[in-house]
């Protein structure tokens, strides 16, 4: 069986996902495209999907009976309306992070999905599909390092565009850690705090960079995450878990060790697309398989909501400088 996919948002990651649906993954083809910039769609048709139809309106794409499932890869503030329209149309939807830019927006999606009576949404949190994070989780779950007590994490980008603002360090960047760490620890957040170290001269005037986010989980683990999006040297994701009897670290991406010119070196990646290349393949193939089987697995609308509740608290903590409590309602039985 081959499912027909419609894609809303044909920018950087939209293009990547279309490429993988067309050339890497099984049982899917991209038949419909929409973007506020039609030129982006035309370029995809010319280069990747000659048979795909371009729609001027995203809602028309969602409602077209020939579209079986939808990828939402437009920018964050548009996600909520498109996901709600997919649920209304009874169609499976893979939505890139964040599911919505506020917790209330995510809750609107959770409520619509529960009302529809079946899970239709998968959120594009790809790290739980990354083999490194899965290996790290397997070590934690095995009990080999005892209970996790402290985590030291970093999310570093070489640079960001001028439109990137201080709150986006949370809603666009930290949101990955907010998702993957609760999955890794099988825990939720109890409180958050944000600290601003000395600012790098490489950041724009409207961006505080770097930032340190301190999280406390309901089981009492303490997490520090450094967000540094103008670090210049590379795209670098770090995660170290300190347990009662040992330390486990996220593996580095595979890189040849080089002895040359009196130096011993390995390469650090600079492009986020390459760092999680395999994880994106696995998460999207899982989505396609889910559409075919009719049963959603992986990051749910509830996971999107949980990350957004913590993100809202972090944004509030950026402004207040205070420790902000994170209050999560109980997980509805629908998502168990
Ligand atoms: P981008 O700016 O390159 O692409 C966004 C596209 O959406 C643009 O072509 C824009 O014209 C289009 N668009 C905006 N509003 C629209 C609307 N109302 N209707 C239709 N099209 C619209 O951005 P990028 O980097 O591709 O990011 C898109 C989304 O993917 C964001 O939510 C971002 O957070 C997420 N993302 C996730 C990554 C991951 O690792 N999971 C990596 C990169 C992005
Ligand atoms: P699954 O997708 O149901 O995930 C396991 C559990 O984790 C579920 O209870 C789910 O609710 C929870 N969960 C998943 N994502 C979460 C998130 N983002 N935040 C919070 N909780 C989350 O079942 P699975 O069998 O473990 O497989 C998941 C996918 O990973 C499958 O597509 C599988 O093929 C793939 N996989 C990849 C590797 C690899 O090495 N890359 C290894 C095994 C499985
Ligand atoms: C991008 O939006 C992503 O989601 C990447 O995974 C992330 O690491 C990068 O910092 C963001 O720009």
Tokens 């009662």 belong to which residue? 244
Q: Cα(298) to centroid of ligand 2, in Å?
A: 5
Residue nearest to atom 31 of ligand 2 (CA): 286
Q: Which of 7, 8, 11, 308 is the pocket-test mutation for ligand 1 (most atoms within 8 Å of CB)?
A: 11
Q: Is the pLDDT of residue 31 over 90?
A: yes
The average pLDDT across 160-168 equals 96
Please report the pLDDT score of residue 302 as a whole number. Answer: 98
Q: Quick check: CB of 286 below 6 Å from ligand 2?
A: yes
Return the H-helix or E-strand segment holding 70: strand 69-72
pLDDT-derived band at 192 (thresholds 50, 70, 90) equals: very high
Rounded Cα distance between 217 and 306, Å, is: 13
Distance spanning both ends of the chain, measured CA to CA = 28
pTM: 0.87
pLDDT-derived band at 263 (thresholds 50, 70, 90) equals: very high
Please report the pLDDT score of residue 103 as a whole number. Answer: 96
Q: Quick check: CB of 80 below 6 Å from ligand 1?
A: no
How many CB atoms sit inside 10 A of residue 87's CB?
A: 24
Q: Quick check: CB of 128 below 6 Å from ligand 1?
A: no
Number of H helices, E strands in the chain: 11, 15
The average pLDDT across 191-204 equals 98
Contact 96, 124 (CB under 8 A): yes
Question: Atom of ligand 1 at shortest distance to CA of 16?
Answer: 26
The average pLDDT across 243-263 equals 97
Please report the pLDDT score of residue 232 as a whole number. Answer: 98
Please report the pLDDT score of residue 193 as a whole number. Answer: 98
Rounded Cα distance between 197 and 202, Å, is: 14
Please report the pLDDT score of residue 110 as a whole number. Answer: 98
Q: Is the pLDDT of residue 329 over 90?
A: yes
Q: Which of 17, 74, 77 is the pocket-test mutation for ligand 1 (most atoms within 8 Å of CB)?
A: 74
ipTM of this predicted structure? 0.67
Q: Cα(75) to centroid of ligand 1, in Å?
A: 4
Q: Quick check: CB of 71 below 6 Å from ligand 1?
A: no
Q: Is the pLDDT of residue 311 over 90?
A: yes
Interval 68-95: pLDDT, tens: 999 999 999 999 999 999 999 999 999 9
Q: At residue 278, what are phi and psi to the nearest 5 degrees? A: -70, -40
Return the H-helix or E-strand segment holding 29: strand 28-34
How many percent of the chain have pLDDT more than 70?
100
Q: Quick check: CB of 130 below 6 Å from ligand 1?
A: no
The average pLDDT across 325-334 equals 96
Going by DSSP bridges, is the β-strand pair 189-195/324-325 parallel, antiparallel, or unpaired?
Answer: antiparallel
Interval 106-155: pLDDT, tens: 999 999 999 999 999 999 999 999 999 999 999 999 999 999 999 999 99
Q: Which of 13, 164, 172, 174 is the pocket-test mutation for ligand 3 (most atoms within 8 Å of CB)?
A: 172
Interval 8-17: pLDDT, tens: 999 999 999 9
The average pLDDT across 220-236 equals 98
Q: Cα(253) to centroid of ligand 3, in Å?
A: 17
- Residue 333 tokens read as 């039985």
Please report the pLDDT score of residue 155 as a whole number. Answer: 98
Mean model confidence pLDDT for the chain: 97
The average pLDDT across 46-69 equals 97
Per-residue burial over 295-331, b = 16 or more CB atoms within 10 Å of its CB, e = otherwise: ebebbbbbbbbbbbbbbbbbbebbeeeeebebebeee
DSSP assignment of 86-132 equals HHHHT-EEEEESPSSSSHHHHHHHHHHHHHHTS--EEEE--GGG-HH
Question: Please, where are the H alpha helices in the chain?
Answer: 12-23, 38-47, 58-63, 79-89, 103-116, 131-142, 168, 175-185, 272-275, 277-293, 301-320
DSSP type of residue 333: G
Q: Is the pLDDT of residue 253 over 90?
A: yes
Residue nearest to atom 17 of ligand 2 (CA): 299
Contact 93, 120 (CB under 8 A): yes
- Residue 160 tokens read as 């960001």
How many CB atoms sit inside 10 A of residue 41's CB?
A: 25
Q: Cα(66) to centroid of ligand 3, in Å?
A: 32
Q: Is the pLDDT of residue 26 over 90?
A: yes
Please report the pLDDT score of residue 336 as a whole number. Answer: 81
Instruction: Show the ligand 3 pocket: residues with CB < 6 angstroms.
Output: 157, 172-173, 176, 272
Question: Atom of ligand 2 at shortest distance to CA of 289?
Answer: 32
The average pLDDT across 47-60 equals 97
Tokens 């709600």 belong to which residue? 84
Residue nearest to atom 20 of ligand 1 (CA): 35
């Amino acid at each position: 069986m081959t499912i027909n996919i419609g894609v809303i948002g044909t920018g950087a990651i939209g293009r990547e996902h279309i490429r993988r649906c067309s050339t890497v993954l099984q049982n899917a083809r991209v038949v419909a495209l929409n973007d506020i910039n039609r030129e982006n769609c035309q370029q995809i048709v010319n280069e990747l999907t000659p048979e795909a139809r371009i729609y001027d309106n995203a809602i028309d794409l969602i409602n077209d009976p020939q579209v079986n499932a939808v990828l939402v890869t437009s920018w964050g503030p548009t996600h909520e309306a498109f996901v709600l329209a997919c649920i209304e149309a009874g169609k499976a939807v893979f939505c890139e992070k964040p599911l919505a830019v506020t917790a209330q927006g995510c809750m609107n999606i959770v409520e619509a999905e529960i009302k529809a009576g079946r899970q239709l949404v998968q959120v594009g949190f790809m790290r739980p599909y990354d083999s490194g994070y899965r290996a790290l989780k397997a070590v934690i779950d095995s009990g080999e390092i005892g209970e996790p007590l402290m985590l030291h994490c970093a999310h570093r980008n070489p640079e960001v565009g001028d439109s990137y603002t201080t709150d986006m360090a949370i809603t666009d960047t930290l949101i990955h850690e907010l998702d993957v760490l609760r999955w890794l620890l099988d825990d939720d957040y109890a409180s958050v705090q944000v600290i601003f170290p000395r600012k790098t001269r490489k950041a724009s005037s409207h961006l505080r960079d770097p930032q340190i986010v301190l999280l406390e989980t309901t089981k009492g683990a303490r997490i520090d995450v450094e967000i540094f999006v103008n670090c210049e040297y590379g795209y670098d994701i770090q995660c170290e878990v300190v347990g009662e009897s040992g330390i486990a670290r996220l593996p580095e991406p595979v890189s040849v060790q080089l002895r040359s010119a009196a130096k011993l070196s390995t390469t650090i990646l600079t492009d986020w697309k390459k760092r999680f290349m395999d994880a994106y393949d696995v998460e999207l193939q899982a989505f396609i398989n889910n559409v075919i089987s009719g049963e959603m697995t992986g990051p749910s609308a509830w996971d999107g909501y949980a990350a957004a509740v913590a993100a809202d608290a972090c944004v509030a903590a950026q402004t207040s400088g205070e420790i902000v409590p994170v209050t999560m309602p109980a997980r509805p039985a629908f998502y168990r």
